[in-house]
Amino acid sequence: MKILVINAGSSSLKYQLLDMTDESVIAKGICERIGIGGHIEGVTNEGCNFSYDIDLPNHTIAFFEVKKALTQGECKVIDSLDEIAAVGHRIVQGGATFTHSVLITEEVEKEIGELCELAPLHNPAHLQGIQGCTEAFGKDKPQVAVFDNAFHNTMPPEAYIFPIPYEYYEKYKIRRYGFHGSSHKFVSASCAQQMGKDLKDIKVITCHLGNGSSITAIKDGKVIDTSMGLTPLDGFIMGTRCGAIDPSVVTFLQMKEGWSREETCTVLNKKSGLLGVSGVSSDMRDINEACKNGNERAMLARKIIAYQIRKYIGSYVAAMDGVDAIVFTGGIGENSEKLRADICSNLSYLGIKLDEKANDEFIRGKGGKISTSESMVDIYVIPTDEELVIARDTKDIVNSLN
Ligand code: ADP
């Protein structure tokens, strides 16, 4: 069975075609600059790659281009779309409505639309992805929605209720939802497997560190807390997002700077984080480079990220009354050995001993254990695979239809 996985952003569309008989990737690629120009690039499992500019005024046209890339030209991997059993979409916000993956129907589409106000930067783009897919692939192609917050559904109320008047939870379902669920699910399962244990028998802290970052505490196979909240803005410093700050900072600046709601959202989501502190970039590689050149604000940004992650780890150890393993994943978690070392160097109270050689070695898609055999807590680098989680759920739902 072949499954196409789609991650639609506001101006991008990432795709991955998987063969579920052995869970291998047949082809993957990305359409970029949708609505503001257009570019597509991709690669197949045979190493055939392509990259060209093409006008992509909307997501539907982008889907037609993906269809062309998969079925035509020298990099084609299938003869027709009939070979694709179903399409799985990553959906960031499923709110309280969706606690697991579902087949997309008109009703589901409507409900994803209603959740746009809880994820204004993500859900509208996902909807465009679903609609573009329906137009380009036809109404009969089953589409499945896999929600980023579904894995966090086991969180207890003391972790997800915000201490504001309870009526707002009842009225608007304002609560902590958590995101990156497919990633936390994948790496925690893989961690248990590598430890030769059942996830139900271990306490794990998973650190997904990318442009957006979140940390999750998992105990008895259940999420007991996670750093992102109502939206992916909560938690700790990210590429351009501030993470948790004193809410009074927001009202103070609104008063002083006269910000509207939109301006406030833009500053907190797009101008803060590593970019805001360093003034250099939101990209960890640029921050590292600036640090090498002695840029003090870049050094401060790097200190903040290590410090805040350490604080989260400490608080989740307290929340779970211990920890057996810590996992690093995401672009930064998988590649920045320096940050991993900084974080672990101040966790000696947990009996953590980093294997420096392994830590230096496990980068660029290579994962494994980076703690020594004497370490009281196992530390792992595990490259995430959110697409595989989406493809597996999509396959299960399609199988259940038959
Ligand atoms: P997204 O959240 O958009 O999926 P990724 O998980 O791809 O993002 O992570 C992007 C981040 O990973 C960027 O900050 C980037 O600088 C960082 N990154 C990628 N490669 C490296 C590297 N070799 N060293 C340090 N950071 C890296």
How confident is the model over 375-398, as pLDDT tens digits?
999 999 999 999 999 999 999 999
Asked if residue 321 and residue 204 are part of one domain, the reply reads yes
Asked if residue 364 and residue 225 are part of one domain, the reply reads yes
Among protein residues, the one whose CA lies closest to atom 21 of ligand 1: 335
The C-alpha atoms of residue 149 and residue 153 are separated, in whole angstroms, by: 7
Q: Does 401 map to a domain?
A: no
Query: Tell me: the pLDDT tens digits for 303-362?
Result: 999 999 999 999 999 999 999 999 999 999 999 999 999 999 989 999 999 999 999 999
Q: Does 391 map to a domain?
A: no
Among protein residues, the one whose CA lies closest to atom 22 of ligand 1: 335
| Closest ligand 1 atom number to CA of residue 213 | 2
The enclosing H or E element of 317 equals helix 296-320
Q: Which of 123, 323, 64, 307 is nearest to 206 (CA)?
A: 323
- Phi, psi for 49 (deg, rounded to 5): -130, 155
Asked if residue 113 and residue 23 are part of one domain, the reply reads yes
Asked if residue 227 and residue 312 are part of one domain, the reply reads yes
Say what the pLDDT of residue 331 is: 94
The rounded Å distance from CA 385 to ligand 1 centre is 15
Whether the pLDDT of residue 255 is over 90: the answer is: yes
Residue type, 156: P
Query: Tell me: the pLDDT tens digits for 277-302?
Result: 999 999 999 999 999 999 999 999 99
Q: Does 159 map to a domain?
A: no
The enclosing H or E element of 297 equals helix 296-320
For the chain, what percent of residues have pLDDT higher than 90? 96
Q: Which of 266, 305, 311, 269 is nearest to 287 (CA)?
A: 305
| Closest ligand 1 atom number to CA of residue 330 | 6
Q: Which of 322, 333, 402 is nearest to 370 (CA)?
A: 333
Range(s) of the domain holding residue 221 = 197-386
Model confidence at 119, pLDDT cuts 50, 70, 90, reads confident
The rounded Å distance from CA 193 to ligand 1 centre is 25
| Closest ligand 1 atom number to CA of residue 212 | 2
What's the CATH code of the domain at 55? 3.30.420.40
Whether the pLDDT of residue 161 is over 90: the answer is: yes
Q: Is 242 exposed, middle or buried (0-12, 13-18, 19+ CB in 10 A)?
A: buried
Task: Clarify whether 22 is annotated catalytic.
Answer: no
Asked if residue 89 and residue 215 are part of one domain, the reply reads no
Say what the pLDDT of residue 281 is: 95
Say what the pLDDT of residue 270 is: 93
CB 93 within 8 A of CB 115: yes
Say what the pLDDT of residue 117 is: 85
Q: How many CB atoms lie within 10 A of CB 114?
A: 12
Among protein residues, the one whose CA lies closest to atom 12 of ligand 1: 331
Residue type, 370: I
| Closest ligand 1 atom number to CA of residue 339 | 25
Computed over its alpha carbons, how large is the radius of gyration of the chain?
21
The enclosing H or E element of 12 equals none
The rounded Å distance from CA 91 to ligand 1 centre is 21
The rounded Å distance from CA 246 to ligand 1 centre is 27
| Closest ligand 1 atom number to CA of residue 364 | 23
The rounded Å distance from CA 302 to ligand 1 centre is 14
Q: Which of 220, 225, 223, 264 is nearest to 242 (CA)?
A: 264
End-to-end CA distance of the chain: 13
Q: How many CB atoms lie within 10 A of CB 173?
A: 14
The rounded Å distance from CA 3 to ligand 1 centre is 26
Q: Which of 2, 45, 42, 37 is nearest to 20 (CA)?
A: 2
Complete DSSP assignment for 355-396:
-HHHHHH--TT--EE-B-TT-SSEEEE----HHHHHHHHHHH
Q: Does 180 map to a domain?
A: no
Per the residue annotation, which of 19, 53, 82, 148 is the catalytic one?
Answer: 148
Whether the pLDDT of residue 121 is over 90: the answer is: no
Asked if residue 347 and residue 222 are part of one domain, the reply reads yes
Kindly state the average pLDDT of the residues 126-139: 94
Ligand 1, pocket-test mutation among 309, 332, 360, most atoms within 8 A of CB: 332
Whether the pLDDT of residue 118 is over 90: the answer is: no
Q: Based on the structure, what is the number of domains in the chain? A: 2
Contact residues of ligand 1, CB 6 A cut-off: 210-212, 239, 283-285, 288, 330-332, 335-336
Ligand 1, pocket-test mutation among 284, 287, 328, 359, most atoms within 8 A of CB: 284
- How many angstroms separate the most distant Cα atoms in the chain? 61
Q: Does 190 map to a domain?
A: no
CB 75 within 8 A of CB 49: yes
Asked if residue 133 and residue 41 are part of one domain, the reply reads yes
Say what the pLDDT of residue 49 is: 96
Q: Does 179 map to a domain?
A: no
Ligand 1, pocket-test mutation among 7, 335, 384, most atoms within 8 A of CB: 335
